[in-house]
Amino acid sequence: MVEMTGAQALIETLRRQKVEVIFGIPGGALIPIHDILRDSDIRHILVRHEQCAAHAADGYARASGRPGVCMATSGPGATNLVTGIANAYLDSSPVIALTGQVNTFSPNSSYMIGRDSFQEADTVGITIPITKHNYQVKEASEIPKTVKMAFHIATTGRPGPVLIDIPKNVQTESSEMEFPDDIEIRGYKPKTEPHPLQVKRAVELLLEAERPMVLAGGGVIISNASPELLALAEFLMMPVATTLMGKGCFPENHPLSMGDVGMHGTRVANKLILEADVLLAVGTRFSDRTVGNLDQFCPDAKIIHIDIDTAEIGKNVEVDIPIVADAKETLSVIYQLLVYQLKQKEKSPWFDRVQKLKEQLQDRIDLGGCDLNPPLLLSELGKILPDNTIVTTEVGQNQMWAALYLKRRKPRTFISSGGLGTMGFGFPAAIGAKVACPNCSVVDIAGDGSFIMTEQELGCSVMEKIPVTVVVMNNSMLGMVAQWQRLFYDRRYSAVELGNVPDFVKLAEAYGAEGVRVGSLKEFLKAIKEALKSEVTTVIDVPISPEENVFPMVPAGKGLKDVITG
């Protein structure tokens, strides 16, 4: 036992959790913590808006698999975190959010919880529905245990954000501190091993299957199950389609890779899923963007659903064989049982059909005379980026073009806001990813509208020397909304023209970053190569036509067969 203040205990516990960085912005209710942080070996990265602290922590977590930490002061600092926390929640990302809070008790002042004090907001109440769990610490001595529980909850089972709200007097109060090695949370016992009987049934079904197919979601990446998935898919010669969150978990240059399923899935993936007789769904929650019209989703398939979260079983889609367990463990057991029972599958008629359809339904890139055509730019970009380059995206057309055309071969190299669809996510997430993986290049594929939402982090990236590359697909439009208005609202544009987008080259330069505008594919690829080598963040402005649509597309509410291709 050692005597220390709450703030000291917090930093000591974070150090013991091997935290190396905190993304944050200080404030009145955090000063005691920043005071201790100043002398600690944990790096504090000063972002320019708290939303970006949460996104950066999220990007850090997704790129590395380690929890990301963000911190904000009470009241507006905490409420600014909210979008970032909700984003991490929907995409199951282990983010620890620390927030300052007004005092639990003040002898001669009304600066106290419940009195509507200066910068008081009910952070715990606000974040209950968007966190895996949250805490308010009432005594300094509870800090070590609470922080340890928060990390345990955030990183195990189905990961997710956990918030710890720390009143200012708890930060300054001294107490005898005990740093527990083990903690016990009686309401939380995630299980990871699959049930043997369910595994047996799954294996039997896979052995009988004539047209098996895999749908791989973000859970495959979270559980580091890519090698097991690859082995199993190759053994059974099964085509693999991914969700947006699963992109990268299976090498997209592999003959069995079919690309993404769903609203902006590839034509071949959306077609095959309708033909499959067994669907092995791993680490996916069958979101509406993936499934489309529920009644028309893989009508002929029996579904095996592997997910670590019991509540995902049967939530959106009824399944035949549920397996509540870790994806990696389960795929590995299934593989071993199959190997034991079967020699490697011969190339079946199904495999031939898959290859034929893949060839036939290739989404050909229409050059339309214009060099700066997003599908072309992104597929060429995919060819020159090293395997370990991390791509983040914003939200909108840019995101869907990247998902469709920018091929990735490794897990954790495609980071996108899948669940919440948060414009402005990509750039701060890129900063977080770069901090987590300093030896990898990081490229944010952006739309002008999204980039404008968090562009101020150019200040952070330059000052903190975190160089990333931002590719702005500049159509002076809120492009995806414009696309819906073109297709489904008779071209009646409403509130989608951005008009005066800033000159992104000058904007970058104003922050001390580099800016370059390109006029052709050749210039684009050259700019990319230079940016990847640059010591400072580069913004590449790519003027594109405001009339471009992302195809293929399955209109909202339609079945996956109702693809429109322009």
| Residue positions annotated with a catalytic role | 50, 118-119, 168, 480
The C-alpha atoms of residue 199 and residue 406 are separated, in whole angstroms, by 35
For ligand TPP, the closer of residues 284 and 422 by Cβ is 422
| Distance, CA of 21 to chain centre | 19
Element housing 135 (H / E): strand 133-136
| 416 closest CA partner among 63, 159, 48 | 63
Residue 421 interacts with ligand TPP (CB under 6 A): yes or no: yes
Which of ligand TPP, another protein, none does residue 422 bind (CB under 5 to 8 Å by kind)? ligand TPP
Residue 394 interacts with ligand TPP (CB under 6 A): yes or no: yes
CB of 78 to ligand TPP, least distance (A): 19
The C-alpha atoms of residue 530 and residue 524 are separated, in whole angstroms, by 10
Count of CB atoms situated within 10 Å of the CB of 520:
11
Residue 455 interacts with ligand TPP (CB under 6 A): yes or no: no
Considering only residues 105 through 144, tell me which ones interact with ligand TPP, judged by CB under 6 A: none
Residues lying near another protein in the complex (CB under 8 A): 124-125, 128-129, 132-133, 153, 185-188, 309-311, 313-315, 318
Reduced to 3 states (helix: H, G, I; strand: E, B; else coil), residue 32 is: helix
CB of 125 to another protein, least distance (A): 7
CB of 311 to another protein, least distance (A): 4
For ligand TPP, the closer of residues 165 and 457 by Cβ is 457
Q: If DSSP states are collapsed to H, E and C, what string results for 394-409?
A: CCCHHHHHHHHHCCCC
Which of another protein, ligand TPP, none does residue 450 bind (CB under 5 to 8 Å by kind)? ligand TPP
The C-alpha atoms of residue 233 and residue 256 are separated, in whole angstroms, by 8
Residue 477 interacts with ligand TPP (CB under 6 A): yes or no: yes
Which residue of the chain is nearest ligand TPP when measured via CB?
447
Reduced to 3 states (helix: H, G, I; strand: E, B; else coil), residue 254 is: coil
CB of 172 to ligand TPP, least distance (A): 37
Residue 480 interacts with ligand TPP (CB under 6 A): yes or no: yes
Q: Indicate the residue type of 434.
A: K
Contact (Cβ atoms closer than 8 angstroms) between residue 301 and residue 272:
no
Among 82, 225, 301, 478, binds ligand TPP (CB under 6 A): 478
Structure tokens at 86: 């909700």
Contact (Cβ atoms closer than 8 angstroms) between residue 251 and residue 409:
yes
Which one of 53-61, 110-118, 174-182, 395-403 is the stretch in contact with ligand TPP (CB under 6 A)?
395-403
Looking at the chain, the number of H-run helices and the number of E-run strands are 22, 20
Residue 263 interacts with ligand TPP (CB under 6 A): yes or no: no
CB of 60 to ligand TPP, least distance (A): 21
Beta strand 174-177 with 2-5: parallel, antiparallel or unpaired?
Answer: antiparallel
b/e per residue 298-319 (b: at least 16 CB within 10 A): beebbbbbbbbbeebbeebbeb
Among 219, 246, 418, 447, binds ligand TPP (CB under 6 A): 447
Among 475, 508, 514, 560, binds ligand TPP (CB under 6 A): 475
Interface residues with ligand TPP (CB under 6 A)? 394-398, 421-423, 447-450, 473, 475, 477-481
